[in-house]
Structure 1
Amino acid sequence: MKKYTLLLLALFGIVLITQAQEDKYLWLEEVDGQKALEFVNAQNKTTVEELSAEKDYQDIYDKSLAISNSTDRIAYPSIRGNYVYNFWKDKDHVRGIWRRSSLENYNSGNPLWETLIDIDELSEKDNIKWVYKGSNGLYPYYNRFLVSLSKGGGDAVVVKEFDANKKQFIENGFSIDESKGSARYLDKNTLIVATDFGAGTMTNSGYPKQVKLWKRGTSLKDAQLIYDGESTDAFMTSGYVLRDGNQAYTLIRRSLTTFSGQYMVWINNKMIKLDIPEDVSIKGILINQLIIQLKSDWDVNSKTYKTGVLLSLDFKELLKGNKEIQVIIEPDEFSSISDVSTTKNKMLLNLLTDVTGQLYIYSFTNGKWTNEKVKAPDFGRISIVGIDDNSDQYFFNFMNFITPSTLYSADANKNTLKVYKSLPAFFDASKYEVTQYKAKSKDSTKIPYFMVAAKDMKYDGTNPTLVYAYGGFEISYAPFYAATFGVSWLDKGGVFVLANIRGGGEYGPKWHQDGIKEKRQNVFDDLYAVSEDLINKKITTPRHLGVMGGSNGGLLVGVAFTQRPDLYNAVVSQVPLLDMQRYNKLLAGASWMGEFGNPDIPEEWEYIKKYSPYHNLKKGIEYPEVYFGTSTRDDRVHPGHARKMVAKMNDMGYKTYYYENTEGGHAGSSTNEQSAKSGALTFSYLLMKLK
C-alpha cells in the first residue's frame, strides 16, 4: 500500500512538473501572491505613467467623472410595495447609498429620498471596501430585506438581513457568510438558501449544488436539505419564488450544462420535476400560465414547436403531468425575444427586430393570448426597468446612440405612457448620424452592425474607428447611449461601430448556437467581415482601426489580434479569457464549457487550441500593442488570464499596456472615480494608436 501511495505521489509530481514546464507563468494565477502583485504593480505603474501623460487623458477623466457624478442622472425605480428603491452614487457617495421614496412621491416626479444604507459609512465602520450587490425583500410589505454585500466587487457576497423601517441590520437576523449563491424569503421566518454549506456542497465551478430551507432561530448547518445536485453540474442549483398574484410557488433550478437545467417545484414537502425541455428559459407565470421560451425544437402532443418560440402552459395541469400549450409568439429569422416581464394582470414583451426594440402588452383572456403594441419610440434599445406586483404600472427606458436615455412611466392596462425623465445631452449629438449596415461573413451569413459617425465624415480611410463586439452566451447588444463614448471618442474625431456578430442573441437562439464550441470560428470571422467592410467602404484602414471587447469579448479581441494582426492597430481586451486550456480550472470557468467546449477532452481541445490566444502567440509577428485591463477582485474571470498573456508577450519582446484595478470585480470598477480612470486610460490609448 505504501509503495502504491508513493507511486501515485511520484506520478502526481510528474504531472505538476510537466504542467509547470509547459506554462512557466502559472505563478501569476496566485491572485494575491507577493510576486504576482509585484508584477501587477510594475505593469500598472508603467501604463499609468505613459497613458496619463497623453494630451487627452485629463479631459477625458474629468468629463467622464462629471457624467458619472451628475445629479441630473435618472434615478431608476425598483418598486417594492408602497416604495421605490434606488441605488445611487455621486461625488458625495463614492460607494453609494441605498435609498427609498414613497411610490406616490416618485410618481409625482419629486421623490423624497430617505437613505437606508450608506455604503461609504458602512465600509469605514467595518474597515471593508463594501460593494452593494442588490437586495431581496419580504413580500408583500417589503419591510425586511436580504442585502448582498461584496468585498471589493467580486461575485461572492455576504448576506445580511435588514429592517427597512428601522433602517438597520437586524441583530441576530438571517446572516450568510461570504459565498456565491442565492437566498430568498419564503415567509418571514423561512429562507430558501443556496450557499457554501461546507465540504462537498459546491460544484467544480465554485457554485452551490445544494438548496436548503432555513428556519429563523436555527443554525444554517441544521437547515433542511431539499435538493442536492452533482459536483459536475455546470453552474449552481438555486431556489426562488415564482409569484402569480397571491399564489407563490417554490422553484428549484439545477444547472446541468451552461445552457440547460432541470426545474422542480417544492410543494407539500415533496419535489415535482417539471416535464419541460431542459434548455428552456422560464420567463414567469401569469394567470396560471407558465411562460417559457424554447431554445430548441420541442416535439410534444404530436406537434413540433420551433426554436425561439414563446409558449405558455397551464401550470396546475403541468404539475399533474399534463401539457396544455399555447403559442404566444414565434419570432421570424430577423427577430428575437429580448425580455419578458409580468405586471399584476399583463405580460410585457420586448422584441428585437433587426436589433432594435419594440414593446408589446399581452393579455390572457378567455383562454387566449392577445396583444397590442406600445407606442414607444422606434430605432433604439428598450429596457423594462420597473414593475409593480400590485398593479399594472411599469417603467421602461429608451435610448439609442445619439438619443439620451429617457425613462417612461406606463400603464399596461390602459396602454398609456408618458415621459418621466430624460437624461441631459452630455455631448452634441446633432453632429452625428447612425447607420446600420450588413457585412458578409466567410460563410456568406449577413452580419448586422451599427456605425456612429460625424455627418461630414470623409470617406478617405483615415478615420479612427473603434469596433465593439461581444459574440457569446446569447447576449444581445442593441443601440445604447453612452455619454462617455460621446465625450471620449466621438467628440475626439472617432467613429464607433457596434458589431452584432454570431454567438449573441440578436437573431434568436440559432444565432447563438451557430457560434458555440466547434462553430466558434464563425464568431471571429464575423468580426473580421465587419472590420473589412469598414475598410472596403473607405471609412478606415488597419492603421486607424481598433477593436474592443470585455469578458467573452476580451477573448474575442484576443483571438482577433493573434489570428489577424494585419487588421488592427489597437486592441482593448477587458477582463478577458485568454488561456483556453486552463479556463475551466480557474474560478467559474467550468460553468462555461457549454459555450466553449471542454479542453480536457482531446476532440474538443482540437478546435479550442486553434484559437486560444495564449497558445497562438508567436515570435516575430507584427502584433499591435495591446491594452489589457482586469481586476484583482474579479472572481468570475480569473485575472491570471490577462496577467499571463502580458508576461508571455513581454518576454517575447512585444510591448503591451496593462492595468489591473485592485477592486471592482468582473465589472472592473467599484466607484465612479475608478471607472473614470479606467476609461481615461483606455481612450487615451485608443487615441494615441488610431489618430
Structure 2
Amino acid sequence: MKNTISALLLSPGLLLGATAAFADSAPTTSAPGNGIPEDSRAWMEDMNNADALAWAKAETDRSTAVLQADPRYPTLLAEATAIAESKDRVPVVSFRGEAVYNFWQDGDHVQGLWRTTTLDSFRKEKPDWQTVLDVDALAKAEGVKWVFKGTDCDEETRRHCVVHLSNGGEDAVTLREFDMKTRAFVPGGFSLPRGKQTVAWADTETLLVAREWGPGTMSNAGYPLVIKSLKRGQPLEQAKEVFHGQPTDMSVGATTLRDAQGHQATLIIRNLSFFEAETYLLADGQPKRLALPLKVQVQGLHDGQLIVEVKQDWDAGGTAVSQGSVVAVDLAAATADPDHLHPVVVYAPTAREGLTGVDFTKHHLLLSLTENVKGRLYVADRNADGTWRRALLQLPDNADVTITGADRDHDRAFVTVASFLEPLTLSLVDTNTGKVEKLKSSPPRFDASKAVVEQREAVSSDGTRVPYFVVRPRDVPFDGSTPTLLYAYGGFEVPMLPHYLGTAGKLWLERGGAYVLANIRGGGEFGPAWHEAGLKTKRQTIYDDFVAVARDLIATKLTSTRRLGIEGGSNGGLLMGVQFTQHPELWRAVVIQVPLLDMLRFPVIGAGASWIGEYGDPAIPEERAFLAHISPYHNLKAGVTYPEPLFVTSAKDDRVNPGHARKMAAKMKEMGLPFLYYENTEGGHAASANLKETARRQALEFTYLLRKLKD
C-alpha cells in the first residue's frame, strides 16, 4: 500500500546570494509574506492566465519550428512513434480474482482501453482481451480528453471500483463508481466532481473521501485536510466528518487494507510533511494513533500483520529497528493497545541495499530491492515462532526487477525484468516453488549488439563514491568525441535503476551516442540514508555528486564539454537548472523537463508547499539563504556564457507548475540569452497525455541533442 498523497506528489557567500536574488524581483500588487519574495513575473505562475498561455504558445511555436525544420526530425518522430505505439509491447498486467487486467494504449486507442482476460488466455500469443472501459469512446461521447488515472476497488466484493479520470493529465481527478460485472458506470453511484482527492472503501456502501469540503479544508500545498464518510447515493454536503488535520499539515488520506485471510484494517495517514506522518487505526469509527515513528510507510496487511517500512532508527520496547527495515506489527495487538507496539523485523538492509517495493501473495511477502543498484527479489515467510525468513528468487542480474501484480488468492506474481540492452520480459513467479515461467518479451527496439554497459564510480567533493552506469558503443575512441547524455534525478528517495533504453537506444545509441545514468545522493539507491544526505541545506552534495560524474566522464575521455549534454525532469529539472547556472562551462546541451526553478517562491507555486521537507523553507533564514544560493531562477547572471537549454513543460501540470519554466525562460529572453521552449497544452506532470504526445516530445528532445552534441 502506498501513501496515496505521497504517490501523487511523485515520477529536487550566502548573504550576498540572498541579496542578489531579491535584486531581480520587482514589486507586485501584494506581498506573499513568510519569506516569500515578490516577483514581477508572478503572473506567469497562473496556469490559465491568458497572457502566460499566449507567451508560452509563441515560444513553443518558435522553438518547434526550429527543431522540426531539422532534416532528422521526421525520421526521429517516426521511429519514436513506432516504438511508443507498437502493438507487440509487453502489457503491464495485474491480478484481480481469477482475471488479468491491463490498461493499454496504441495508435488506435490513443486515450486507452482498460481490458481483461484470463491467465490461460494471456499465456497465448494473442490473448482474447475483453474491453472493460473504452476511454477513447468515453472522451468522444463527453467531449473531454479523459486520461485514465487508475482505480480504487472494493476488495470485499470485488465488484465495484472508483475510476479516476483526469482532464488532460492533471493531478486533479473526477471520480465515478464503476460496476465490474456490467462493465458500466453505476447509475446513481458514487460520483465526485473534479479535485485533488483520494478515496478508500470503508465497506461496500461507504467511501472515506479526502477532498476539498469548503474553506479551511485544504492545505497550503493544495491537498485535503478533512476526511468524511460518504454513503452511496448521499450528496457530498451530507457526508460525516471522520478526521480533520491541522492547518500546518501537508495532507490527510485514508486506506483500507485486506489480506487473504480476511483481516481488514482502515488507516488514516496524517501527513505532517512529505516524509513525516502520523498513522491512525480506525476502530469503531474512532481514529486511534499507532505508536509508529513519523518516518514510516505502511505497505499492507498480511496474515493479520501490518507490514511497515521504517525509514528511521526505532527503539520499540527494546526491539532495535534500523533505518530502511521492514517490520511486522500484529494487527490485533495494535488494535487492543495502539500505544505499545512490538514489531518483528522482516528485513534489515545492508549499507549497499535499498528497498524498492513490497507486495503480497496468499501466503508470502515479496520484497524487491537493489543491491549496489542491481535488482533483487526475495520471498519472505513467517516461522512458527513469529520470526521471518527470506529466500532469493533466481532472476537475471544487472537488471531492474519489478513486481507488476501479485495474486492474493494464490501464491503467484507477475514480475518484469529489464536492463539497458535487454528488452522487458514478463514472467509469472510461483512463490511456493520459486519457479519462474516466462510469459512475454518485447522484441528489441534497437541494435544492441554494438553496445556495452559499464558500472563505474566517481568520487564526490566529500570523498563519497557515487556509482553510475555508462551505456556506450563498444568501439568508442576515448578521445572525448563521443556525444554523451547524462541523466539523473537525485531526490525524494527515488532510485534510478537500469531500464531498457528502447527509444533512447534507437534515437541516440544507434546514432553513436552514449547514455549515462548517475545514482547521485538524494535518491533511494542505498536506502533512506542516501536520500537524507542531500536534504535541505545539505543539498549541494547532490549537485556535487552530479558534477563528479561529469568530470569523471571527461577525465576518462569518454566525452568532453563540447559533446556532453544533461537531462532531468521534475526534481531532476531543478538539478538541471542548478547545473546550468553553477557550471555552464561543463555542458553543451541541457534538457530541463517539468522543472522547479524558483526556489524562493516554490512554496506558493502549485503543490510546492508539500516539498518543504525536501528543499527547506524560505521562512527560515538559514534555509532561505541556501535556497537563494542554489535557485536557478535567481542565479542567472548577465555576462555569463550559458549553453542554449531546452525547457519542456505542460500547461496542465498542476503539480510542478509551468510557471517555473515560463519565468526562467522569460528572464533569459529579457537578458538576451538563447533558449528553446516547449509547453505541451496537455499531459500534466508527464508533459504528455498519450503515446503520440510522448513520441513527439522525445523526437524534439533528441533532435535538440543531436544538433548540440553531434553536429
TM range (shorter): over 0.9
Identify the residue that residue 8 of structure 1 maps to in structure 2. none
Q: Distance in 2 between matches of 1:285 and 1:14?
A: 49
Match of residue 307, structure 2, among 287, 291, 311:
291
Residues 60 and 582 from structure 1, CA distance in 2 versus in 1: closer, same or farther, beyond 3 angstroms? same
1:654 paired with 2:673, answer yes
Match of 1:325 in 2: 343
CA contact (8 A) 2:447 2:506 kept: no
Pick from 123, 128, 132 the counterpart of residue 139 of structure 2.
123
Residue 241 of structure 2, aligned match among 225, 229, 240? 225
Among candidates 80, 85, 90, match of residue 64 of structure 1:
80
**How many angstroms does 1:282 deviate by?**
1.5
- Cα deviation for residue 299 of structure 1 reads 2.0
> Among 362, 372, 379, which residue is 2:380 paired with?
362
Seen in structure 2, the aligned counterparts of structure 1 residues 16 and 106 have a Cα distance that, compared at 3 Å, is closer
The one-letter amino acid paired with 1:322 is H
Equivalent residue for 2:487? 468
Match of 1:242 among 239, 257, 261: 257
Query: Given residue 119 of structure 1, which amino acid in structure 2 is its aligned partner?
Result: V
Quick one: distance in 2 between partners of 1:541 and 1:634?
A: 35
C-alpha distance in structure 2 between counterparts of 1:21 and 1:303, whole Å: 47
Q: In the alignment, is residue 435 of structure 1 matched against residue 454 of structure 2?
A: yes
Contact kept in structure 2, 1:242 and 1:284, CA below 8 Å: yes
Total equivalences in the alignment: 680
Instruction: Report the equivalent of 1:211.
Output: 227
Matches within 5 A, 1:550-565: 550-565=569-584
Deviation at 1:325, TM superposition (A): 2.5
2:79 is matched by which residue type in structure 1?
K
Q: 2:618, 2:624 within 8 Å by CA — same for their partners in 1?
A: yes
Deviation track 1:209-265 (CA, whole Å, cap 9, x = no partner) reads 11111111222221121100012212x211111112211111110100110101111
1:161 aligns with 2:177: yes
Conservation of the 8 A alpha-carbon contact between 2:268 and 2:287:
no
- What is the SS of the residue equivalent to 1:132? strand
User: RMSD over aligned Cα, in angstroms?
Assistant: 1.8
2:366 matched residue in structure 1: 348
Asked whether the equivalents of residues 81 and 141 of structure 1 are also in contact (C-alpha less than 8 Å), the reply is: no
1:567 partnered with 2:604: no
Structure 1 position 135, deviation (Å):
1.0
1:308-365 Cα distance to aligned partner (Å, 9 max, x none) = 2222222222231333222222211111111111111100011201101111100113
* 1:481-506 deviation line (CA, Å, top 9, x unaligned): 02110111101111000000000000
Q: Which residue of 2 aligns with 1:6?
A: none
CA distance in 2, matches of 1:15, 1:385: 47
Give secondary structure in 2 for the equivalent of 1:587.
coil
**Are the aligned partners of 1:287 and 1:364 in contact in 2 as well (CA < 8 Å)?**
no
Aligned-partner SS, 1:526: helix
CA pair 486-651 structure 1, distance change in 2 beyond 3 A: same
For residues 38-77 of structure 1, the aligned pairs below 5 Å read 38-77=54-93
Which consecutive unaligned segments of at least 5 residues does structure 1 have?
Answer: 1-10
Give the counterpart letter for 2:432 in structure 1: N
Amino acid in structure 1 at the alignment position of 2:326: L
Which range is displaced more, 669-678 or 400-409? 669-678
* 1:445 partnered with 2:464: yes
Give deviations 1:564-608, integer Å, cap 9, x for gaps.
011101000000000011111012100000000011222210111
Cα distance in 2 for partners of 1:248, 1:301 equals: 25
Indicate the larger mover: 310-319 or 391-400. 310-319
- 2: distance between equivalents of 1:527 and 1:362? 36
1:542 paired residue number: 561
Moved over 6 A (4+): 16-21
Quote the offset at 1:509 in angstroms. Answer: 0.4
2:391 aligned partner:
372
CA pair 315-445 structure 1, distance change in 2 beyond 3 A: same
Partners of 1:16 and 1:602 in 2: CA distance: 16
**Does the C-alpha gap of structure 1 residues 27 and 106 become closer, same or farther in structure 2, counting only changes over 3 Å?**
same
Per chain length, whose mean CA-contact separation is higher, i.e. which structure has more relative contact order (CA < 8 Å, sep 6+)?
A: 2
- Alignment partner for residue 517 of structure 2, among 490, 498, 503? 498
1:307 aligns with: 323
Q: Find out whether 1:91 has 2:107 as its counterpart.
A: yes
Amino acid at match of 1:579: D
The structural deviation recorded for 1:396 is: 0.5
Matches of 2:680 and 2:288 in 1, distance apart?
A: 46
Bigger mean CA deviation after superposition, 282-291 or 91-100: 282-291
Q: Hey, what does 2:621 align to over in structure 1? A: 602
Q: Provide the C-alpha distance between the structure 2 equivalents of 1:401 and 1:395, rounded to a whole number of angstroms.
A: 20
1:233 counterpart SS class = coil
SS in 2 for 1:675: helix
Structure 2 counterpart SS, 1:426: coil
Quote the residue 2:540 is aligned against. Answer: 521
Q: 1:4 matched to which residue of 2?
A: none
For residues 417 and 248 of structure 2, the distance between their equivalents in structure 1, rounded to whole angstroms, comes to 41
Identity %: 43
Compare 14-23 and 259-268 and name the one that shifted more.
14-23
Give 1:325's aligned amino acid.
P
Structure-2 change in CA distance of 1:101 and 1:21 (3 Å) = closer
CA offsets 1:143-170 (integer angstroms, 9 cap, x no match): 2211000011000000001122222211
| TM-score of the superposed pair, with normalisation by structure 1 | 0.96
After TM superposition, the structure 1 = structure 2 runs for residues 98-113 of structure 1, keeping only pairs within 5 Å, are 98-107=114-123, 110-113=126-129
The one of 81, 89, 95 aligned to 2:97: 81
Between the aligned partners of 2:125 and 2:328, the Cα distance in structure 1 is: 37
Letter in 2 for 1:324: H
How far is the alpha carbon of 1:171 from its aligned partner?
A: 1.4
- Would the aligned equivalents of 1:146 and 1:184 in 2 still touch at CA under 8 Å? no
2:46 is the alignment partner of 1:37: no
Q: Is the 8 A contact 2:316 2:342 kept in 1?
A: no
The correspondence for 2:604, drawn from 572, 575, 585, is 585
Tell me if structure 2 keeps the 8 A contact 1:407–1:419.
yes
Match of 2:150 among 131, 134, 142: 134
- Could you tell me which of 662, 665, 686 is aligned with 1:667? 686
CA contact 1:81–1:140 (8 Å) conserved in 2: no
Q: Distance in 2 between matches of 1:17 and 1:368?
A: 53
CA distance in 2, matches of 1:156, 1:632: 14
Taking the aligned partners of 2:152 and 2:31, their CA distance within structure 1 comes to 46
Conservation of the 8 A alpha-carbon contact between 1:309 and 1:331: yes
The aligned residue for residue 23 of structure 2 is none
Three-state SS of the structure 2 residue aligned to 1:610 is: helix
> In terms of mean alpha carbon deviation, does 576-585 or 208-217 score higher?
208-217
Aligned-partner Cα distance in 1 for 2:32–2:87 = 55
* C-alpha distance after superposition, 1:173-198 (max 9, x if no partner): 10001111211223221111111122
CA distance in 2, matches of 1:249, 1:110: 40
Matched residue type, 2:485: L
> 602-611 vs 26-35, which deviates more?
26-35
**Hey, what's the Cα distance between the residues in 1 that align with 2:316 and 2:393?**
33
Q: Write the distance in 2 (CA, Å) between the matches of 1:484 and 1:52.
A: 18
Distance 1:149 1:303 in 2: 44
State yes or no: 1:264 paired with 2:280.
yes
Corresponding position of 2:353? 335
TM-score by length of 2: 0.93
Check whether the contact 2:329–2:341 (CA below 8 A) recurs between aligned residues: yes
Q: How big is each residue's C-alpha offset from its partner over 1:538-588, in whole Å with a ceiling of 9 and x where there is no partner?
A: 011111101100000000010001000111010000000000111110121
In the aligned structure 2, how far is the partner of 1:221 from the partner of 1:266?
Answer: 22
Task: Report the CA distance between 1:301 and its aligned residue.
Answer: 2.0
Corresponding residue for residue 5 of structure 1: none
Structure 2 Cα separation of the partners of residues 559 and 185 of structure 1: 43
**What is the deviation of 1:297?**
1.3
1:12 Cα deviation from its structure 2 partner: 10
Whole-angstrom CA distance in 2 between matches of 1:497 and 1:94: 31
Q: Which runs of 5+ in 2 are unaligned?
A: 1-26
Partners of 1:281 and 1:294 within 8 A in 2? yes
For residues 174-189 of structure 1, the aligned pairs below 5 Å read 174-189=190-205
